[in-house]
A and B are shown apart, each in its own frame.
Chain A
Amino acid sequence: MINKIVESAAEAVAGIFDGATVMISGFGEAGSPVELIHALVDQRAKNLTVVSNNAGSGHVGLAALIENRQVSKIICSFPRTTISVVFPEMYRRGEIELELVPQGTLAERIRAGGAGIPAFYTPTSVNTPLAEGKEVRRFNGRDYVLEHAIKADFSLVKCHMADKYGNLVYNKTARNFGPVMCMAAKTTIVQARKIVELGEIDPECVVTPGIFVHRIVEVSNPADESKLVAEERRYPWN
């Protein structure tokens, strides 16, 4: 019997081990699985490599995970926002490693990881510092840089609606990296605002087919990260 539903966020993140590569969905707060990240803070796995577009805001969510010294490296396109404090401070002190990747290259490296493509050539970043040391090859008179796929041990993803097979539907621009991250991990862990019966999601409208999903937990009232940041909340809760 297939039932990917688990009862709690703690159960969902069980087994994430020290040194694991963990993808975390979201573009800023949109699509960030705050409750799963907080469960990972409680779970205490350390020396993680995190793949995420940003590096967290305030002292909650991804920023809390970094502040709790569980992340040794982040692969990221934009680690700087007006309200990110934790990452910049630790980076300046040399306490966390950064691999900076152009946003589209990051998305495609993750997609490739999930699609069984080990590497690909892209025009993005050619002749810039981010292409230094990488193989460049010319196709039809234009230079392209070789980029390698990224795979993860775990992905933490937020979605709008899921069923017990793991079929997912997202909400607006909170979709962002979710679908490709679901594909690229050995174990994909999803928090859904709502879990519905099989058949309630129109098969024509499934965005992530269940084959890419392994554990689902319902978080019916997920926190608004921006609200927590504005209220100067910290996790573990202050």
Chain B
Amino acid sequence: MELAAQKEGWSLTEMAQNVARDIHDGAYVNLGIGMPEMVAGFIPEGREVIYHTENGLLGMGAVAASGSEDPELVNAGKKYVTAIPGAAYFHHADSFAMIRGGHIDICVLGAYQVSQEGDLANWSTGNPEDIPAVGGAMDLVAGVPSVFVITKHCTKSGEAKIVKECNYPLTGKKVVSRIYTDLAIIDVQNEKLFVREMAPGVTFESLQQQTGAEIHLIQEMEGHDKKE
């Protein structure tokens, strides 16, 4: 942890906290597999959020305690979970009607790449050796009004994940609303990237260097003054 604290930017925990802060009271939320799952742990007190898991549960609770796992109660990542009082089970077509029909307010997903226009690539690297698998990602980005992406700003080898145009196969075109990285929080609007917030120690110049597309200050966003 000490090592992480010395590094530039936000930790994974802080990234998850940043996302959680933007989830409103009463929201119906779908969290993708992996890093997005962390967000549930940081919803500010006083807010009630209902979690949807696309395999047929609204009102997903915490991960099941060791010893009380139920193989017939799992989340989309096939982890053993629990259901809260007031939960509901339903079949897959209903579950994706909730998604495609625009009833889920927010989804949080991981990414291989996000383009400046909000295109998302998160299901395939295009490597012919990989077994193609898509799951529910394309349905989520097509149907959920607010698509939040949580991701490291760059790949392990230092390549920008936020790019002019994705070269990995797309999950959806012009679908991402906001990107939460270890370096910044970035809004996608009118096919441009606007920096809402930067992690301590990060400068606009260094952020631009690590981003594969042009970034703008939030003040330049149309109607920004009226919104804040």
Contacts and interface: CB of A to CB of B under 8 A. Distances in A.
Contacts of A107: 91-93, 95-96
A130 B170 CA distance: 9
A27 B96 contact: no
A126 B175 CA distance: 11
Interface in B75-92: 75, 78, 83, 89-92
B62 interface: no
Interface in B81-127: 83, 89-93, 95-96, 99-100, 124
> What bracket does the count of chain B residues touching chain A fall in?
35 or more
B131 A102 contact: no
Nearest to B91: A179
B96 A173 contact: no
Interface stretch (A3-11, A12-20, A36-44, A73-81): A73-81
B78 A81 contact: yes
Nearest to A131: B138
Nearest to A82: B78
A77 B134 contact: yes
Nearest to A143: B173
Interface stretch (A60-68, A117-125, A209-217): A117-125
Contacts of A175: 56, 89-91
Contacts, number: 145
Interface string B131-157: 111111111001100000000000000
B193 interface: no
B73 interface: yes
Contact of B133 (A30, A80, A125): A80
Contact of B100 (A88, A124, A173, A174): A124
Given A30-B55, A30-B72, A100-B133, A108 B93 contact: yes
B78 A87 contact: no
A136 interface: no
B100 A104 contact: yes
B70 interface: yes
A224 B92 CA distance: 21
B131 A79 contact: yes
Nearest to A83: B78
Given A172-B83, A173-B74, A174-B72, A128 B89 contact: no
Contacts of A104: 54, 92, 95-96, 99-100, 136, 138-139, 143
Contact of B134 (A29, A91, A100, A108): A100
A103 interface: yes
A83 B137 CA distance: 21
A78 B72 contact: no
B91 A130 contact: no
A177 B92 contact: yes
B71 A29 contact: yes
A102 B138 CA distance: 6
Interface string A78-113: 111100000110011000001011111111101100
A128 B169 contact: yes
Interface of B: 53-57, 70-75, 78, 83, 89-93, 95-96, 99-100, 124, 129-139, 142-143, 169-173
Q: What are the nearest 4 A-B pairs in CB distance?
A: A104-B96, A104-B139, A107-B92, A174-B72
